[in-house]
Amino acid sequence: MHKRIWTALVAVFAVVAAATNAAAAYPEKPIQLIVPYGAGGSTDVLARAIAQVAPKYFSQPLVVVNKPGGGAIPGRVDVARSKADGYTLLFGWGSGEDLVVPHQRPLPYDLFKDFETVCRMSVHSIVLAVPAASPHKTLADLVKAGKSKEYTTASVSTKGASVDITFLLFGKAAGIKVTTIPGAGGADAITKLVGGHVDFGGGHPSEVLPHIKAVRLRALAVALDKRDTSIPDVPTFREAGYDVVTAGSVKGVAVPKGTPKEVISYLEKKFKEIADDAEFQKIMNDIGQPVMYQGAEEYKVWFKQAYDQFGSLYKSLGIETK
Amino acid sequence: MFDVAGLWLGFQIAFSPVNLLWGLIGCVLGTAVGVLPGLGPAATIALLLPISMKMGSPVTAIILMSGIFYGAMYGGSTTSILLKIPGEAASVVTCIDGYEMAKQGRAGPALGIAAIGSFIAGTIGLIGLTAMAPPLAEAALKFGPAEYFSLTVLGLLLATYLTGDSPLKGLTMAILGLMLGCIGLDPLSGAVRFDFGVADLQSNIDFVTLAMGLFGVGEILFSLEKSETASILTTKIKNVFPTLADLARSGWAMVRGSVIGFLVGILPGGGAVLSSLISYAVEKKVSKHPEEFGHGAIEGVAGPESANNAAASSSFIPLLTLGIPGNASTAMIFAALLIHGITPGPFLLKEHADVFWGVVASMYIGNVMLLVLNLPLVGIWVQLLRVPYAFMAPLIMVLTLVGVYSVNNSVFDIWVMLVMGIFGYLARKLKFDLGPLLLAFVLGPIMERSLRQALLISNGDFAIFFVRPISGALMAIAILFVTYNLWAARKEKRKAQAKAA
């Protein structure tokens, strides 16, 4: 009996030692950051900003790999199925595909069983804006006009994603019928809004800020519980009198399940250092993506809460789910 | 209107040795990826992004990247003309007459005219960009879902009439192309459709896979039927450079192609593809010998090749003045600018005049470099045709296999390409033209998305396509086009009947 316990203990020790050993050597080759979206999008830009400052903190280069298409699901499948050795990282963990889409349709992986959370880098809030030529100066103007017509059109990046849900939720809270027009991604949605083809629309600060500066768009509200630091003079929906608060586009990092604990905490620590880096913060500020770092444990709790919130929003909005 | 001081500043920046060197490297790389099937300009720019971050100045980085982008436009026509493999959607139209010319031993003039046309169009596009970027960008914003739908309807109609031998056959192929374009993700909701339970079909079929299968593999299979001596690639090569007569015939085609390409290219989305289509249709219409089109008319190469290059220049307009990237390559350049701390958009010209003018000036220089680079290459490419087809065919096969695999690292894509190859072979045997299929495949998703968006905006009212001025005008042209062609076909039929009687 004792002998068995000893054998087991030795075995455990050996495994742990081997793992620690491996971790000590990590990273010994370039680390891939898998971005399941196209180049030039907000997640891609974040990953590239990190890769740029990474040499200060990592002994190996971080390589950004775009795997766009397929509704950003194939890129996630790739990461879930890749070797759990800390050399393949998923970027954009906590986006609409993770918090919202699972409530719509089954996915080829288990969100909570196939991935391990590393950290959160940024939260991109959702801004509601109208074309500059629009007569509406406040959210109340927009709602007043909306009440007197059959429906109000809103341009959104993708159906069922966070921007879409937020605007539908706003319609419900304000008692107006909002018809959302999904586009081919954020840039397409903003182009239609700037061209005045819809009543309102919006997206993330980095997408609308340049147009607000150029007086092509006017921001009316932001869907956070407090004002966004990148557009401090825009009120929240709550301040305007409508109870709409959504998580927006959350950008975190995940690795395949089974990645050694040491590797995860190594990555967590390094990304924290990057989040505190002055050069990185300046880049992020310039592109309108506030750095909002959370460590693994804290982010896991936050992630689950946001996931559940979108689930109940889906039910309350009565959007068809498959 | 013409900011001479700005352009002067730009040329001072672009002529610095470092920027000249990187501009040249970009042009060479761009030509190379344009010629090689598979790896496209967007993927190449993505690969080089980390290196560009190490460059001291963002201007240098963007000069390199834009060089790759428009360099690829020059190179893209090479495989279309020599092997009938369009490297990208904008070169599909070039295959029609370009390859016919190669078959007649006139590959040299075709390649030469493509290079000269690209140079002229690139330069005309740049002059337009320099002179009137901001107002044109504003005009592009007027294009909403209804306008895009009408434009793609017109584009598809032009596509079905491309070769004109049988509009019914063209229409059949276009519908097949639309159907293939529906496989995968719904462009609006992102729901999976028509995947027949095959996981690999959930992401849409890649253009490169389809094009190389239908054209590349199909052509190889077709040529296997002929004996070695009769093979097209051993045809006597008449002359390497275009003759004066060729140039005279192509001159106005280039100018018209440039103007069309410049205007349509401003629209984000399928600008380059649509412009090459429209240019081909226009050339066929104004030509004194329309019967030559589809059988090696040089205007059929000069016009579309000019159009897609002018479109490449003008696609910088929405990027630089509005901050809206219109295609995958300009999206990469957009990302690169952002990471360098520069936001492309209305303030670029004010806040970073050096970047704006430096890049614009470098494109003028790049176009000259590309012409100087590409004209001697024509001689080398033409020599390739002297290689016996028994060696060429397997080589093309290997290149397409590697090219298709390199796009997504997917073995499934290779199977798709081979199946499409067999289909392409059968279509050729039955005299169905594959151009409409490929073009419908590219335009279909844009058309579907804008149709559904427009109907959402109008609450299901189809009048939206006719009452809005731009959309209504486009629809009117489309209707006139169909009626005219039906009328012409009927007249022809009566004539034939009268003759028979």
The string of pLDDT tens digits covering residues A94-143 is 988 898 888 887 888 999 999 999 999 998 889 999 999 999 999 999 99
3-state secondary structure of B378: helix
CA distance B94 to chain A (A): 28
Tokens 């605007």 belong to: A167
Burial A41-53 (b: 16+ CB within 10 A, else e): bbbbbbbbbbbbb
Question: Which positions ≥6 away from B336 have C-beta within 8 Å?
Answer: B45, B49, B52, B58, B61, B62, B65
Q: What is the DSSP letter of B360?
A: H
Name the token pair of A296. 């693994």
Alpha helices in chain A (DSSP H): 2-25, 42-53, 73-81, 96-99, 139-147, 162-174, 186-194, 205-213, 261-275, 278-286, 296-317
Name the token pair of B363. 């494109």
pLDDT in tens, A161-192: 788 889 999 999 999 999 999 987 777 888 89
Pick the closest to residue B216 from B25, B417, B381 (CA basis). Answer: B417
Q: What pLDDT shows up at residue B305? A: 93
The counts of H helices and E strands in chain A are 11, 11
pLDDT for residue A299 is more than 50 = yes
Q: What pLDDT shows up at residue A321? A: 45
Q: Which residues pair with A152 in a beta bridge?
A: A178
Name the token pair of A186. 């954020």
Task: Find the closest chain B residue to A182 by CA distance.
Answer: B188
Q: What pLDDT shows up at residue A5? A: 61
Please check whether residue B42 touches A, CB under 8 A: yes
- Which A residues in the span 95-154 are in contact with B, Cβ-Cβ below 8 Å? 101, 105, 108, 150-151, 153
Task: Verify whether the Cβ–Cβ distance B50 to A153 is below 8 Å.
Answer: no
Looking at residues A247-266, what average pLDDT do you find?
A: 92
Q: What pLDDT shows up at residue A320? A: 53
Among the partner residues B144, B145, B324, nearest to A187 by beta-carbon distance? B324
Looking at residues A138-152, what average pLDDT do you find?
A: 95
Give CA–CA dist A267/A253, Å, rounded: 9
Task: Verify whether the Cβ–Cβ distance B449 to A52 is below 8 Å.
Answer: no
Contact A152, A7 (CB under 8 A): no
Looking at residues A257-262, what average pLDDT do you find?
A: 94
- Which run of H or E residues covers position B403? helix B389-408
Task: Verify whether the Cβ–Cβ distance A159 to B188 is below 8 Å.
Answer: yes
Among the partner residues B50, B332, B456, nearest to A40 by beta-carbon distance? B332
For an interface test with A, which of B198, B340, B457 has the most A Cβ atoms less than 10 Å from its Cβ?
A: B457
Contact A255, A270 (CB under 8 A): no
Please check whether residue B142 touches A, CB under 8 A: yes
pLDDT for residue A1 is more than 50 = no
pLDDT for residue A307 is more than 80 = yes
Task: Verify whether the Cβ–Cβ distance B49 to A195 is below 8 Å.
Answer: no
Task: Find the closest chain A residue to B350 by CA distance.
Answer: A214
Pick the closest to residue B272 from B118, B400, B68 (CA basis). Answer: B118
- Determine how β-strand A115-124 pairs with β-strand A249-256: antiparallel
Looking at residues A10-25, what average pLDDT do you find?
A: 54
Q: What pLDDT shows up at residue A280? A: 92
Residue-range domain boundaries for chain B: 4-385+395-500
Please check whether residue A49 touches B, CB under 8 A: yes
Q: What is the DSSP letter of A113?
A: T
Q: What pLDDT shows up at residue B395? A: 86
Q: Model-level pTM?
A: 0.82
CA A145 to chain centre: 32
Q: What is the DSSP letter of B85?
A: -
Please report the DSSP string for B473-496 in residue order: HHHHHHHHHHHHHHHHHHHHHHHH
* Strands, sheet with A152-156, edge to edge from the N-terminal-most edge strand: A178-182, A152-156, A200-203, A127-131, A217-222
Q: What pLDDT shows up at residue B43? A: 78
Angle, helix B92-103 to helix B271-286, in steps of 10 degrees: 50
All structural domains of chain A, each given as residue ranges with its CATH number in brackets, are 2-124+248-317 (3.40.190.150), 127-222 (3.40.190.10)
Among the partner residues B142, B145, B335, nearest to A44 by beta-carbon distance? B335
Burial of B398 (0-12, 13-18, 19+ CB in 10 A): exposed
Give Cα separations from B215 to B42, B153, B182, B437 (angstroms): 22, 24, 21, 11
Among the partner residues B185, B187, B325, nearest to A40 by beta-carbon distance? B325
CA distance B298 to chain A (A): 37
Largest pairwise CA distance in chain A: 83
Please check whether residue B482 touches A, CB under 8 A: no
Name the token pair of B419. 């199946």
CA distance B394 to chain A (A): 31
Average pLDDT, consecutive stretches of 10 residues, N- to C-terminus, chain B (501 residues): 82 93 93 79 79 80 92 86 83 89 89 93 92 82 91 88 77 93 83 83 83 88 71 58 89 94 83 88 88 90 93 89 80 81 78 90 94 88 79 86 80 92 93 88 90 94 94 94 87 85 71
Kindly list the residues from chain B whose CB atom is less than 8 angstroms away from the CB atom of residue A55: none
Give CA–CA dist B420/B146, Å, rounded: 33
Q: Which residues pair with A93 in a beta bridge?
A: A252
- Determine how β-strand A200-203 pairs with β-strand B184-185: unpaired
pLDDT in tens, A29-43: 899 999 988 777 778
The 3 state secondary structure assigned to B441-477 is HHHHHHHHHHHHHHHHHCCCCCCHHHHCHHHHHHHHH
Please check whether residue A179 touches B, CB under 8 A: yes
Give the CA-trace dihedral at A131, A137, A138, A144, to 10 degrees.
-90
CA distance B35 to chain A (A): 23
Name the percent of chain B in helix, strand, coil, to the closest 5. 75, 0, 20
- Which run of H or E residues covers position A63? strand A62-66
Kindly list the residues from chain A whose CB atom is less than 8 angstroms away from the CB atom of residue B449: 183-184
Task: Verify whether the Cβ–Cβ distance A214 to B345 is below 8 Å.
Answer: yes
Kindly list the residues from chain B whose CB atom is less than 8 angstroms away from the CB atom of residue A152: none
Q: Which residues pair with A91 in a beta bridge?
A: A253
State in Å, rounded, how far the first CA of chain A is from the last one.
53
Task: Verify whether the Cβ–Cβ distance B339 to A210 is below 8 Å.
Answer: no
